[in-house]
């Protein structure tokens, strides 16, 4: 027993080869990575990469968005399948402000004939897509995507005239 290190002895085995490969491999990789991204700037910077990904997403949205109009939205509001899909979306995203039965709470009652930003199908679609930030209405276009915004617009249109008891009317009466 050695007198040193409180009796702890030390062998002096060679470093395992695979371990050395890991050590030097990661160092070599780091040099290559740094050269590619930082020294030469060949690799895309994060902002560039993000811009590319966002553009791809935008293209996807534009491609999948069928042309819409007052008439087409109104027609969709009579399509039971679309309205049912819209109702699911509404229950997940909208009830927090508009109430379980769209009777209004933070946001306005959507079942009466009064509208703050116009009651035409395209106007409602526009409010849902772009939001009304000063009133606290979120822009859902990016969150839901065009298909879901269309469905939920159809659902809201289908509520017209149901007049659920809730928040008193706000805005102008829609003719």
Partner 1 sequence: MKQIEITYDDRISRQFIAASIIFGLVGMLVGVLAAAQLSFFQANLGTSFLSFGRIRPLHTNAVIFAFVGNMIFAGIYYSTQRLLKARMASDLLSQFHFWGWQAIILAAAITLPLGITQGKEYAELEWPIDLAIAIVWVAFAVNFFWTLARRREKQLYVAIWFYIATILTVALLHIVNNLSLPTSMTHSFPVFAGVQGALVQWWYGHNAVAFFLTTPVLGIMYYFLPKAAERPVYSYRLSLVHFWSLIFIYIWAGPHHLLYTALPDWAQSLGMLFSLMLWAPSWGGMLNGLLTLKGSWGKLRTDPVLKFFAAGVTFYGMATFEGPLLSIKSVNALAHYTDWIIGHVHAGALGWNGFMAAAMFYWMVPKLYGTKLYSRALADMHFWLGTFGIILYVVAMWVSGVTQGLMLKAVTASGALQYPSFLETLEAVKPFYMMRLIGGSFYVIGFVLMIYNLWKTVKSGAPVEARLTVTEPEAVAHVPAGRLVFSKPIAIIFVMLGLLLGFATRNHGHWVVYLVALAITCVVAYAWSPREGDYSWHRMLEGKAFLFSAFTLLAVLIGGIVEFVPALALKQAVPTENAQRPYSALELAGRNIYVREGCYTCHSQMVRSLVGDTARYGEASKPEEFIYDMPYQWGSKRTGPDLHRLGGRYPDLWHYQHMLDPRATSPGSNMPSYAFLKDAVLDTNALATNVRTMQALGVPYPAKAVLEAEAQARTDGERIAAGLKAQGADVAANSELTALIAYLQSLSSKEKANVSSGISRAE
Tell me, residue by residue from 145 to 164, as one string, x for binding to partner 1 by CB under 8 A and - for no binding: xxxx----------------
DSSP 136: T
Q: Which is nearer to partner 1, 20 or 84 (CB)?
A: 20
How many CA atoms, within 13 angstroms, populate the side-chain half-sphere of residue 57? 12
Tell me how far apart the alpha carbons of residues 70 and 92 are, in angstroms, rounded to a whole number. Answer: 25
| Residues whose CB is less than 8 angstroms from the CB of residue 62 and which lie 6 or more positions away in sequence, other chains included | none
CA distance 128 to 143: 11
What contacts 77, CB < 8 A, 6 or more positions away? 83, 121, 153, 154, 155, 157, 158
Q: Smaller CB distance to partner 1: residue 139 or 174?
A: 139
Contact between 29 and partner 1 per CB under 8 A: yes
Name which of residues 117 to 146 contact partner 1 (CB under 8 A).
Answer: 130-131, 133-136, 138-146
Among candidate residues 100, 104, 103, 156, the one with its CA nearest the CA of residue 127: 156
Distance in Å, CB of 16 to partner 1, minimum: 7
Does residue 170 belong to the site contacting partner 1 (CB under 8 A)?
no
The residue among 12 and 80 lying less far from partner 1, judged by its C-beta, is: 12
Nearer to partner 1, 3 or 161 (CB): 3
- Which residue shows structure tokens 């969709």? 76
Tell me how far apart the alpha carbons of residues 136 and 103 are, in angstroms, rounded to a whole number.
17
**Is residue 74 near partner 1 by the rule CB under 8 A?**
no
| Contact flag: residue 93 with partner 1 (CB under 8 A) | yes
22: helix, strand or coil? helix
CB 161 → partner 1: shortest distance, Å? 26
34 scored as a contact of partner 1 (CB under 8 A): yes
Give the binding site for partner 1 (CB under 8 A): 4-16, 19-20, 22-23, 26-27, 29-31, 33-34, 37-39, 45-47, 49-50, 53-54, 57-61, 63-65, 92-93, 95-97, 106, 130-131, 133-136, 138-148
């Amino acid at each position: 027993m050695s007198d040193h290190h409180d009796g702890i002895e030390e062998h002096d085995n060679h470093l395992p080869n695979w371990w050395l490969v890991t050590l030097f491999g990661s160092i070599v990789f780091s040099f290559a990575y740094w050269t590619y991204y930082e020294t030469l700037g060949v690799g895309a910077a994060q902002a560039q990469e993000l811009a590319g990904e966002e553009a791809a997403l935008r293209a996807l949205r534009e491609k999948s968005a069928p042309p819409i109009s007052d008439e087409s939205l109104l027609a969709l509001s009579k399509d039971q399948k679309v309205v049912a899909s819209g109702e699911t979306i509404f229950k997940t995203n909208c009830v927090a402000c508009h109430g379980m039965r769209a009777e209004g709470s933070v946001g306005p009652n959507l079942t009466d004939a009064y509208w703050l930003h116009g009651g035409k199908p395209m106007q409602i679609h526009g409010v849902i897509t772009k939001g009304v930030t000063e009133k606290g209405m979120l822009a859902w276009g990016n969150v839901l995507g065009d298909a879901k915004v269309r469905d939920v617009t159809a659902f809201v249109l289908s509520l017209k005239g149901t007049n659920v008891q809730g928040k008193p009317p706000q805005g102008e009466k829609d003719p």
